[in-house]
Structure 1
């Protein structure tokens, strides 16, 4: 669907650990751009409705985290999880999930998600605007492959999951590699 699309230029307001900052919260603000995350790399980006939510925390994020070596073997340099949550929430979720391999990107205002056409209302769940669940293979800032859950709409009654799963994305990478080798 979105293969060939260049990612939008967005600035993400992140919090990064800095031991020079004293006290119980040793973090400082650091703005990062789309280019900082995606330029010159082949990455998997997956986006989901919210940190700490059941499907995201139980299946999608752990699947990408635990499968990182398999993705590297298929030519992936990094895996990023994005959500329309602020950096404080994303960092706490990364800590709670004990992430070592997947980086988190806070799209707090939903600007990137909106520009990708994936911002939906989740008012039926009390969430406000959030990301529709999707994954993508991004090569140097351009969408190489797109995996969008069916039914994109505001206030969807369900949270479809499968098309954007780590297993589906990894299978695509392996199948594409086998096609090139054949």
Structure 2
């Protein structure tokens, strides 16, 4: 569906640790662009409805985190998790999950998600605007493979999960790499 599409050029407002700030919360704002995350790299990007939510915290994020070496073996340079949450929330979620391999990207305003066509209303859960669950293999800012959960719509009654799972993405990468080698 979105294969071959260039990612939208967006600036993300992140918080990064900086000991020069001092105090009990030594973080500063740092603007990072789509190019900062994706230029010149082969990346797996996955986006989900919200930090700290059950499926995201129990299956999807841990699966990508624990499978990082397998993804690297298939030519992936980085894995990023995106959500329509601010940097404070994303950083705390990364800390709570003990992330060492997966980077988090805060799309607090939902601009990237909107421009990807994946912004949905989740008012039925009290979430407001959020991302529909998807994953992509991105090569130098261009979508190489797309994995979107079925049923994209506002206020969906369920949270479909499977198409964008780490297992599905890794299986695609293995198959694609085998095809290139043949």
CA distance in structure 2 between the aligned counterparts of 1:145 and 1:102, rounded to whole angstroms? 19
Q: Unaligned stretches of 5+ in structure 2?
A: none
CA distance in structure 1 between the aligned counterparts of 2:49 and 2:77, rounded to whole angstroms? 24
Q: Tell me the TM-score normalized by structure 1.
A: 0.99
CA distance in structure 2 between the aligned counterparts of 1:149 and 1:58, rounded to whole angstroms? 17
CA distance in structure 2 between the aligned counterparts of 1:87 and 1:71, rounded to whole angstroms? 25
CA distance in structure 1 between the aligned counterparts of 2:178 and 2:39, rounded to whole angstroms? 26
Q: CA deviation at 1:178?
A: 1.2
1:30-80 Cα shifts (integer Å, max 9, x gaps): 000000000000000000000000000000000000000000000000000
Paired residues for 1:1-182 under 5 Å: 1-182=1-182
CA distance in structure 1 between the aligned counterparts of 2:173 and 2:57, rounded to whole angstroms? 23
CA distance in structure 2 between the aligned counterparts of 1:120 and 1:27, rounded to whole angstroms? 31
- Pairwise CA RMSD of aligned residues? 0.4
Q: Tell me the TM-score normalized by structure 2.
A: 0.99
CA distance in structure 1 between the aligned counterparts of 2:161 and 2:54, rounded to whole angstroms? 11
CA distance in structure 1 between the aligned counterparts of 2:164 and 2:27, rounded to whole angstroms? 32
